[in-house]
Amino acid sequence: MSNIPFSLNLSRRMRRNRSAAAIRGLLQETKLHQEDFIQPLFFHDGQGGAKEIDSMPGIVRHSLATLLEECHQLVDLGLSAVALFPCIDPAKKDLLGAHGLDSENVLYRAIRKIKKTFPDLLIITDVALDPYTSHGHDGLLNEQGRVENDATVEILMRLALLEAEAGADIVAPSDMMDGRVKAIRSTLDGKGFQETAILAYSAKYASAYYGPFRQAVGSEKKTAPVDKQTYQMNPANLREALLEVKLDEEEGADMVMVKPAGPYLDVIRAVREVTLLPVVAYQVSGEYAQICAAARLGWLDYKSTRDEALLAIKRAGATMILSYFSKEVLTVLKS
């Protein structure tokens, strides 16, 4: 063998740009910033403080008192927005979700308390009936057990208005009913809430990744899981998502969402390419639970997998990310 090192005589060596941490940092194309994140928060109307959620390690259902404490910590970390999800007492649920129209229910009280204490913290509220219905569906059922679109939209208009009146900055219809964005926009504008934004769950898939969330808000049905395929999207479809985004944009949505995020990076990218609106991605409970579970078993490195998953969502084109990792990522970014 010759003592002269073999050389390929390459003019372009890509590894030069990866040779040290400093140059890798300078050339990194996608970076996570505190402004990228929205923290989902669960809460209940009971006493005794926060309650752990078994399927979502580190995530809790807050009482109203601990909810305010959590918001204080998030504000100190520089978080701009929270998304609120109430867990309603089963005794207050019925077939029509009537408790959703009670202006003194726990959601509206939580909005008012947070807004009074932290006026600059953006509040995003879910517009759907599933937290309030005994059957767990996002709308009103007809005699055949199917969700009635137009009758449901009429209730959603009232829910959105109540949320805006309580102080929500952004209402987020997650129901996937046809025409609900236009109806909500008209209702809000007609009542003087032109400044209240609409974040449309435009491409919300009928996903198996929602299980831990349904446990968190108490809408799961263990004996007969709720089948939402007649209104949430088929996971096999992409072009349909683009049409949903187009319709929501035409109806007055200020932002659009893709949910879930990680398994639907192609959808996020495609949506990003067809709209100029902000694109929000929801890294859902099942995505969070998978990473936590695999890390606890020693199969994955927790921090590296968490950060890679979030970078992939942003790289795909997300403007903002709803993630249960938000608080801990902001803690890292601040340090």
Residues that are catalytic: 204, 259
Is omega for the bond preceding 173 within 30 degrees of 0, making it cis?
no
Phi, psi of 248 (to 5 degrees): -65, -40
Query: How many angstroms separate the CA atoms of 49 and 47, rounded?
Result: 6
How long is the chain?
335
Structure tokens at 90: 């089963």
Task: Indicate the SS3 state at residue 3.
Answer: coil
Which pair of structure tokens corresponds to residue 72?
């204080």
Rounded to 5°, angle at Cα 92 from 86 and 96? 95
Q: How far apart are CA 139 and CA 176, in angstroms?
A: 10
CB 139 within 8 A of CB 101: no
Q: Distance between CA atoms of 214 and 285, rounded to whole angstroms?
A: 9
Residue 225 tokens read as: 């899981």
**What DSSP element (H or E) covers 302?**
helix 302-316
C-alpha span between 27 and 106 (Å, rounded): 47
The single residue listed with the structure tokens 């709308």 is 139
A 10 A CB-CB count for 307 gives 15
Residue 209, φ and ψ in degrees, nearest 5: -85, 5
